[in-house]
Amino acid sequence: MTDPISRRSAIGLGLLGVGSLGLGVAGVASSGFRSGPWATTAPGGAAAASWSEPTVLASSGGALTCELTVSETQIDVGGSSARMLAYNGAVPGPTLHLRPGDTLRIHLTNGLEEPTNVHTHGLLVSAEGNGDNPFVSVEPGESFDYEISLPDDHPHGVFWYHPHRHGFVADQLFGGLYGAIVVDEEDWSEGAPRIVVVSDVTLSGGAVAAVSDAERRRGRVGEVVLANGLVAPPLAVSPGRTERLLIVNACASRYLDLGGLAMSVRGVDSGAFIPPRAVDRLVLAPGNRADVLVEGPERPTSLVARAYERGGGGMGMMGAVAPEVDATILRLVPDASAHPSPVAPSRDSPRDLSDAHVDRARTLTFTMGMGRGMTFLIDGLAFDPDRVDHTVELDTVEEWTLVNATMMDHPFHLHIWPMQLVGHEGVDFRDVVDVPAGSSVTVRIAFDRFPGRTVYHCHILDHEDLGMMGVVQAR
């Protein structure tokens, strides 16, 4: 391929726009990143594990039928062992490889002592019945059969799944429940894109640490950052060759302010960037995903996540929480014998809504206040699964202005329908749109299919569990 990394810029969350932010591209040492406490060694001082990726479950003949069993399990995490929550005994859970038009059938079995369910984050599918229905509750010891049909024109890219049972989401995700979904037309037997599921966790006494009320209000951040369940794993890459990384931010609250090397971003969330955007900084809010090309370096080079300021830390009512520190996500290690991942053709974005007729405009406002404990509200209301907050007409385009009237950033996730950022260079579709403290962001949404009822919410999952979620019905 031609060198895509000719123009340095940054892809941020809505306000950064394009322009050099001056981060170095030669790795941690020269770009001013501090090393996190787990940057190069695993807990206990053991050497970091070798690279590995989750098991792949691939569809065939138009369907993927699989079992996902949720249980508390002993997991090896960066050289130590801890009790975590797992899909099929692994953290992350298996990668689901699907094609447009496929039917995904998941037999979900709940081996926990609390309810759970599963959400296919970013998939353009029905939210009704046993589809991607966030109102399903699978009780302890019970099973549920999901059947999720992808349309023939489903966007290619990386998506993910995680629990979405209100009240338990942050605890279950932080405990280890997440996995990648990739939709494309490729045959991976000849080589596959690299899956990089990034998560964070705090371990204590051989288990996932309990979190304080202050951490819930702030949005919990784990001490250890994991890539595919590993601490700063080494990925062998051939110098000068292109490697394709499909990155998922599966952290419960942590923003990933990625840098340390030059990246060519082919897309974020459901949107494709054509041509790819050359950047040396890429910020992924919780729930965001990215399709990224990197070039094999001549020297070992780390992809790092800088500590990100998301506001609220100085608020007295938040209570004391430990500061976030920089972390190494993975290390690219030169190896001339390494096989580079194939780079699939660029995909189409959803229909550009820049010039679309807007049928209706709405404003949604996030607030926090003191009630019995701190309240996290949208339009003055806490989540009620029996209330419909907004009813939208099918086959219309709406413009939503998301107003953040608080002192903390809130990443806004709408299920089912992608949101196009208004007033941005190029076409930029997101499934999670960050709304920084004290600001607003405007998006356009085509409610062009999938009648039914689903949710929108803050993807700092503690905030969602605390009530920052609403219900939208399309009809």
Question: Length of the chain, please?
Answer: 475
- Alpha carbon distance 318, 123 (integer Å): 34
DSSP classification of residue 217: H
Which residues lie near Cu ion (CB under 5 A)? 410, 458, 460, 463
Nearest approach, Cβ of residue 457 and Cu ion (Å): 8
Dihedral angle computed from the Cα positions of residues 314, 320, 325 and 327, in that order, rounded to the nearest 10 degrees = -120
Cβ proximity to Cu ion: between 234 and 411 the closer is 411
Question: Positive or negative CA dihedral for 365, 367, 371, 372?
Answer: positive
Cβ proximity to Cu ion: between 97 and 220 the closer is 220
Nearest approach, Cβ of residue 313 and Cu ion (Å): 14
Cα–Cα distances in angstroms (integers) from residue 369 to residues 212, 467, 468, in the given order: 19, 12, 12
Please choose, from the candidates 220, 308, 181, the residue with its C-alpha nearest in 3D space to the C-alpha of residue 256. 308
DSSP classification of residue 47: B
Cβ proximity to Cu ion: between 42 and 469 the closer is 469
Nearest approach, Cβ of residue 309 and Cu ion (Å): 15
Question: For residue 462, what is the enclosing H or E element?
Answer: helix 461-465
Q: In the block, which residue shows the tokens 């990224």?
A: 292
Nearest approach, Cβ of residue 394 and Cu ion (Å): 29
Cβ proximity to Cu ion: between 97 and 254 the closer is 254
Please choose, from the candidates 231, 155, 228, 235, the residue with its C-alpha nearest in 3D space to the C-alpha of residue 197. 228
Please choose, from the candidates 303, 305, 283, the residue with its C-alpha nearest in 3D space to the C-alpha of residue 234. 303
Question: For residue 446, what is the enclosing H or E element?
Answer: strand 440-447
Cβ proximity to Cu ion: between 246 and 471 the closer is 471
Cβ proximity to Cu ion: between 303 and 460 the closer is 460
Nearest approach, Cβ of residue 458 and Cu ion (Å): 3
Nearest approach, Cβ of residue 367 and Cu ion (Å): 11
Nearest approach, Cβ of residue 121 and Cu ion (Å): 16
Cβ proximity to Cu ion: between 211 and 458 the closer is 458
